[in-house]
Amino acid sequence: MNNIEAKQQQIETTMRLAPVIPVVVIDDAKAAVPMARALVAGGTPAIEVTLRTPAALEAIRAIAAEVEGAIIGVGTVLNARDLHAALQAGARFAVSPGMSPYLLDAADDSALPLLPGVATASEAMSLLERGYRHLKFFPAVPAGGHKLLGAWASPLPQIRFCPTGGISLGSAGDFLALPNVLCVGGSWLTPADKLATGDWAGIELLAREAAGLRKPG
């Protein structure tokens, strides 16, 4: 088994943990541990913390060190520096909004499994050529939604997706019903107001609702 295939199997395992991967933008690293514990307790153990705030890496380090059962990932990874920082912080997987040859070369050299983003069939084909069978479809709703992703199932049967971007509890089922979707990414599980007020019970409830979104069959 080559290196990319081994890392793709790790990504697949992560994608199958729950129907939703919470996508988190965190402003206060002190909120990271209780937030992650609430998400894990609610049944969504794979958590993507995006590199969109200064608190992100500190939050990732805290979750990796202190939250049993959490599979912590790093989102908004754009380059080799981000991959290295994510790995050093204790991340188990990385997620990018798109792809570039430079990022893919860096991912080949990194021990961290990458879930790269695509918005077109051509991008998906390019990643398939590099050994990627598990991709993020982003931004899912603006890029064409579940109808576009469903249309890719027949011509690209080797690929499984985690659509992310604009998805809600109400619309997630449309994506999860597709044969080429393993899970969705969602920011609705950790709304800014609940993070700000420390409403961990509320976040756990949102996670439980999301964990109940099982794929048909």
Per-residue pLDDT tens over the stretch 117-149: 999 999 999 999 999 999 999 999 999 999 999
The pLDDT of 200-208, averaged and rounded, is 98
Does residue 62 contact residue 38 with C-beta atoms inside 8 Å?
A: no
Instruction: Based on the residue annotation, tell me whether 48 is a catalytic residue of this protein.
Output: yes
Choose the catalytic residue: 7, 48, 194, 204: 48
The pLDDT of 50-58, averaged and rounded, is 98
Per-residue pLDDT tens over the stretch 32-45: 999 999 999 999 99
Nearby residues of 5 by Cβ (< 8 Å), 6 or more positions away:
131
Nearby residues of 178 by Cβ (< 8 Å), 6 or more positions away:
146, 149, 150, 153, 161
The CATH class given to the 3-204 domain equals alpha beta
Give residue 214's pLDDT: 78
Instruction: Based on the residue annotation, tell me whether 136 is a catalytic residue of this protein.
Output: yes
Q: How far is residue 105's CA from residue 89's CA, in Å, rounded to a whole number?
A: 21
Cα dist. 22→147, 150, 183, 214 in Å?
23, 22, 11, 15
Does residue 178 contact residue 11 with C-beta atoms inside 8 Å?
A: no
Choose the catalytic residue: 12, 123, 136, 204: 136
pTM comes to 0.96
Pairing outcome for strands 71-75 and 93-95? parallel
Of 72, 79, 121, residue with least CA distance to 97: 79
